[in-house]
Chains A and B, each alone.
Chain A
Amino acid sequence: MGARKTLRSLWAIMYYLGFTPMIRNPLFMAFVFSTPFTLLFILFVASNGTALPYGLAGALTMITTELGLFVGTDLASYKLQNRFQDMVVASPVSPLIYMFGVALSELIFGAPALIILFGLIAGQGASLAALVSCLGVVILLWVTTTSLGFFFSAYAPNTQNAFIINGFITTMLSVLPPVYYSVNVLPPYLVPLAVVIPTTEASSLFQGAIGLGYSIEPAWGFGALLAATFIMLLAVSFRMKWRES
C-alpha cells in the first residue's frame, strides 16, 4: 500500500471509528468527561477554589490516561466481539496503521475535553511555553497508556474483562497516585513507589507548568516518562498478536 492509500486508510479508521460515533452519540464524549471533571468539581468546591490548579492537572492526567486505556477496550471489542479486526488483518491495512487509527479515533472523543482543560489552564495564567510543554506531556502519556491498553487487550479473553481491567487500571493510575494532589503530601515511604508511576510524573509536570511548582525535578519527570513510553512500546511490540499462532 502506497503512502496516499495508507493515509486514506488511516483517515477512514479514524473517521468511522472516532469522528462518526462521536457525532452520532455525544454520550461517548460525556463518558470521557464524567469522572475527571467530577473530581475536578469536587476539589474546586471542597477547597473554595484554591485546589483548582491541582484539579486541572489531575483531570488532564486522568483524561489522557483514559483515552489511552480505552484503546485497549476498543481493540478487544473489535477483535473479540465485532470480528472487525479479522477483516482488517486479511486486508492491506498494516497493524501499525490500524493501531494508530484506533488510537487516534479514541483521541477524537477526548479532544473537546482536552481543549476545555487547556483553556482553563491558560486561564490560570500559564504561559505559551508551559502550554506547549503540557501538550508534550499529554502526547508522551497518551502513547504510554495507549501501549498499555494494547498490551492488556492482547490478554483479554473477552470484552467484559477488557472493560473491567481497563477501568481498574485507570483508577489505579489516575486516582490513587498523586495525580489530583502533590506527591509532597504522601508519607515518605510511599514516594519512591509513586514516582515510578508515569501518571505521577505527568501530573507533576502539569502542576509545575500551571505554576504550582514541580514536586519532582522536571528533567527527571520527562526522563522517567520517556523511559515509560519506550518500555511500553517495546512490551507491545513483543506482545502484539496480529496473526495468531
Chain B
Amino acid sequence: MKALTARGLTKVYRKGKQPALDSLDLEIESGQIFTMLGRNGAGKTTFLRIASTQLLPTSGSVTVLGLDAVKEAKALRERIAIAPQEAETIYPLTPRDHVLLGLRMRGMEKEEAAKRAREALEDLELTDVADTNSDWLSGGLKQRVIVAMVVRTDADLIFLDEPTIGLDPVNRRRVWDQLTRLKRTGKTIILTTHYMDEAEALSDSLVIINKGKVMAAGTPRSVKAAVTSRTTRVDVFDSFDRSELGAFGHVVTIAGRYRVLTDASGARRLGDEAVARNASIAISPVTLDDVFVDIVGEAEREGENGS
C-alpha cells in the first residue's frame, strides 16, 4: 500500500524564478523509512510542507495515506505529525512540557499523554533534563526535544525535516534508533537529510532531488547500482591531471583532490599507473555520498553548459 503518491507536483513561489518543485513524481510505500536527499534549496522542505498540508502546490497532486493533501487536508491532519526544520524550543517550557504540549494539543487524555511523554523522553534520552528549562539545553538536546514532540503521537505518518542537523554522531544514532523503532510499530517515516550515511543506514528507499526534480530513486543499493559501471572509487592524491584521469572513469573534485568513479578494471589500470608513477591513491567501494555528488554534480554541470 502506498503511503504517499505525488504526480506532476510543481511549486513556483511568487518571487521565485525557478520552480522549487518541477513536475515531481514520487511513490512511497507504507511502513517504510523514506529519505529525501538533496542540496540546500533542492526542494526537500517544499515537498514536505506540501505533503504535510502546510503549503499549497502550484499544480499537480499529492495523496497521503489515501487522502488528497489539498482537498482532504482536515482528515489528513488527524493522521500526520511533523518535526519542522530549524524548529526551536519555546521559552520557558521544559522538554517534558514540550512533549506534553505536542501530545495534548492533539486531544490526548492527560494520563495517556503523561505516559507517552515519559516514553518519548526516555526514547530520546532526555529523562535527566526532562524538567530543565529548555533554554539552558545544548543545541543537540533542543533538537532532540523537537523530535520527542512527535515520536509518541498517534500519527500514522511522521515527517521529519532534517531531524539530525547539528547533532553529534552519538546523538544522531539515538535519533536513528527511534526512527527504526517507529518503523517497527508500523508507522511511515519521511525524512529529509544532507547526511548520506544517515540515508544509507536508515532508508528502505530514498530519492535524490535537485532543483525540484527527481534525479534518482530506489533503495540505497539500487540507487548505487544505477551507476553500475562505477562500483569503485579511487582517490588520487598527486601526480595526475584531471584530463589524464578521465581515461580511467568519471572524475569528480573533492576538496581540491580528484576522485575517480570507475569499475574494478578501471581501478586496476589506474592502480598500475599509480605504481609506475609512484603516486598516492586510495581505492574503496563507492558510497551513496559518491552517487549523490556524481548525480547532483552532473546536473549542475549540465545546467551550467546549457545556460
Binding site for B on A (CB under 8 A): 1-2, 4-6, 8-9, 11-13, 16-17, 20-21, 24-25, 78, 81-84, 86-93, 101, 243-245
B52 on the interface (CB 8 Å rule)?
yes
* Distance between Cα atoms of A93 and B100 in the complex (Å): 15
B120 on the interface (CB 8 Å rule)?
no
Query: What's the tally of chain B residues with a CB closer than 8 Å to chain A?
Result: 37
Interface residues of chain B: helix, strand, loop or mixed (majority): loop
Q: Known contacts A8-B108, A84-B87, A93-B105; is A21 also within 8 Å of B55 by CB?
A: no
Tell me the smallest distance from the CB of B286 to a CB of chain A, in Å.
36
CB–CB A21/B77 < 8 A:
no
CB–CB A8/B109 < 8 A:
yes
CB–CB B87/A243 < 8 A:
no
B102 on the interface (CB 8 Å rule)?
yes
B83 on the interface (CB 8 Å rule)?
yes
* Distance between Cα atoms of A78 and B101 in the complex (Å): 13
Chain A residues, Cβ within 8 Å of B81 = 87, 90-91
Query: Which of B2-10, B88-96, B176-184, B240-248 is the interface stretch?
Result: B88-96
Chain A residues, Cβ within 8 Å of B108 = 8
CB–CB A8/B54 < 8 A:
no
Q: Of A78, A83, A243, which contacts B56 at CB under 8 A?
A: A243
Binding site for A on B (CB under 8 A): 49, 52-56, 73, 77-78, 80-93, 97, 100-102, 104-109, 133, 149-150, 159
Interface residues of chain A: helix, strand, loop or mixed (majority): helix
Chain B residues, Cβ within 8 Å of A88 = 105
Tell me the smallest distance from the CB of A9 to a CB of chain B, in Å.
5
CB–CB A8/B104 < 8 A:
yes
Q: Of B49, B77, B97, which contacts A20 at CB under 8 A?
A: B97
Q: Of A4, A12, A84, A89, which contacts B90 at CB under 8 A?
A: A84
* The 6 A-B residue pairs with the shortest CB-CB distance in the complex, in nearest-first order: A5-B107, A12-B104, A83-B87, A86-B84, A90-B52, A16-B101
Q: Known contacts A1-B78, A90-B81; is A82 also within 8 Å of B104 by CB?
A: no
